[in-house]
């Protein structure tokens, strides 16, 4: 057993995201193609007699941080008498629809399972993770999946070749709760299929896969929003298509190749925007 572990905690994008109705448990049903990307936080776990959590950015620490909550729940569930100091080097944008908190929690659960030789299976870790958030099981799987339920029913899928991406963010993200309220107020939303996106990802047709992307949450933002401006900048820099991830406000563009994507990063940064080059994993 190791006393210190350093883990990458990958961000995610939603290549498609369809919001259904409200379930009896109060959650919305979802269908989504999700993929981890190379943009990641670094989570360092150090064995301790107590629980502690610190972050490189001014984020909730200690008991308010989801990684701390994950560690606490791990020890409560397993009955292991132990502790850990958690340090999170943040790179993933906060409140941006990229699973930044969920992936830190997932890395913490996976790392503690190894550190304390708990022997929990991936599915058992997911059973703990879903109590913390709907995206945590996907972040534990950390591979492309088609998600259903509230996001916790995961079917692995094939993405034939990594998608070259640029991620940008140009406005504060609204709360997910507010986004669901807006979605619920939109009447007669169109039903649509994920079949084309799944097919083109599977055969490696980047152009058609990109043009099959869709996210219901984009209905919540008008043409004057920061999301619309981010999409415009990505398309003008050569993206095949651009779309918001999750409930926003990060927007990613898909490019034909790595060269075009990296050149686009330079262009977008000249507009005083954060921008990152990455790929699906």
* Residue 21: band (very low, low, confident or very high) from pLDDT cuts 50, 70, 90: confident
Structure tokens at 5: 């572990």
pLDDT tops 70 at residue 172: no
Q: Are residues 148 and 63 in the same domain?
A: yes
Compute the average pLDDT of residues 187-209. 94
More confident residue, 27 or 223: 27
Specify the pLDDT at position 174. 65
Specify the pLDDT at position 1. 66
Q: Count of CB atoms within 10 A of residue 211's CB?
A: 15
Q: Are residues 77 and 208 in the same domain?
A: no
Q: Identify the residue whose tokens are 């972040």.
A: 139
Specify the pLDDT at position 258. 95
pLDDT tops 80 at residue 152: yes
* Residue 190: band (very low, low, confident or very high) from pLDDT cuts 50, 70, 90: confident
Compute the average pLDDT of residues 210-216. 96
* Residue 173: band (very low, low, confident or very high) from pLDDT cuts 50, 70, 90: low
Greatest mean pLDDT range, 18-32, 56-70, 105-119, 166-180: 105-119
- Which member of 12, 41, 104, 110 is catalytic? 12
Q: Annotate the chain with DSSP letters as a single string.
A: --SEEEEEEEEEEEEEEEEEEE-TTSPEEEEEEEEEEEEEEEEEEEEESSEEEEESSS---GGGSHHHHHHHHHHHHH----EEEEEEE--SPTTSSS-HHHHHHHHHHHHHHHHTT----HHHHHHHHTTT-TTHHHHHH-S-EEEETTTTEEEE---SSPPEEEEEE-SPPPPHHHHHHHHHHS-SPPP--SHHHHHHHHHT-HHHHHTT-EEGGGGGS-TTSHHHHHHHHHHHTT-SEEEE-TTSS-EEEE-SSHHHHHHHHHHHHTTT-EEEEEEB-
Domain count, the chain: 2
Domain termination site, one of 129, 156, 183:
156
249-276: b (≥16 Cβ within 10 Å) or e? bbbbbbbeeeebbeebbebbeeeebebb
pLDDT tops 80 at residue 208: yes
Q: Are residues 142 and 47 in the same domain?
A: yes
More confident residue, 210 or 179: 210
Structure tokens at 81: 């008498």
Q: Are residues 55 and 107 in the same domain?
A: yes
69 has catalytic annotation: no
Q: Are residues 108 and 186 in the same domain?
A: no
Residue 220 belongs to domain with CATH number: 3.30.70.890
- 30: domain range? 4-156
- Which member of 41, 104, 135, 216 is catalytic? 135
Q: Are residues 42 and 88 in the same domain?
A: yes
Compute the average pLDDT of residues 140-160. 96
Query: Judging by beta carbons within 10 Å of its beta carbon (0-12, 13-18, 19+), is residue 17 exposed, middle or buried?
Result: buried
Residue 79 belongs to domain with CATH number: 3.30.230.10
Q: Are residues 152 and 174 in the same domain?
A: no
**Cα dist. 27→19, 133, 177, 264 in Å?**
11, 11, 10, 38
Paired residues of 277 in beta bridges: 166
Domain termination site, one of 100, 121, 156:
156
Q: Are residues 27 and 144 in the same domain?
A: yes
* Residue 31: band (very low, low, confident or very high) from pLDDT cuts 50, 70, 90: very high
Q: Are residues 178 and 87 in the same domain?
A: no
Structure tokens at 253: 């563009």
pLDDT tops 90 at residue 225: no
Compute the average pLDDT of residues 195-217. 97
135 has catalytic annotation: yes
d(CA 43, CA 62): 14
């Amino acid at each position: 057993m190791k006393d210190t572990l350093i883990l990458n905690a990958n961000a995610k994008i939603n290549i498609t995201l369809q919001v259904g109705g409200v379930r009896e448990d109060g959650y919305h049903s979802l269908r989504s193609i999700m993929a981890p990307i190379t943009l990641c936080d670094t989570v360092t776990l150090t064995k301790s007699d107590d629980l502690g959590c610190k972050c490189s950015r001014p984020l909730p620490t200690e008991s308010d941080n989801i990684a701390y909550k994950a560690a606490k729940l791990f020890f409560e569930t397993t009955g292991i008498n132990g502790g850990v100091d958690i340090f999170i080097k943040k790179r993933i944008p906060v409140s941006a629809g990229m699973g930044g908190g969920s992936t830190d929690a997932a890395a913490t659960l996976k790392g503690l399972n190894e550190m304390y030789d708990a022997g929990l299976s991936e599915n058992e870790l997911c059973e703990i993770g879903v109590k913390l958030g709907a995206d945590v099981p996907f972040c534990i799987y950390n591979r492309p999946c088609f998600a259903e339920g509230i996001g916790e029913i995961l079917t692995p899928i094939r993405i034939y070749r990594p998608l070259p991406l640029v991620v940008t963010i140009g406005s504060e993200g609204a709360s997910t709760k507010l986004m669901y309220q807006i979605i619920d107020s939109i009447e007669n939303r169109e039903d649509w299929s994920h079949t084309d996106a799944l097919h083109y990802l599977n055969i490696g047709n980047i152009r058609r896969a990109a043009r099959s992307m869709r996210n219901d949450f984009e209905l919540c933002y008008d043409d004057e929003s920061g999301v619309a401006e981010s999409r415009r900048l990505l398309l003008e820099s050569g993206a095949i298509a651009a779309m918001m991830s999750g409930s926003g406000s990060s927007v990613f563009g898909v490019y034909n190749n790595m060269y075009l994507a990296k050149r686009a990063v330079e262009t977008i940064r000249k507009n005083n925007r954060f921008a990152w080059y990455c790929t699906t994993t």
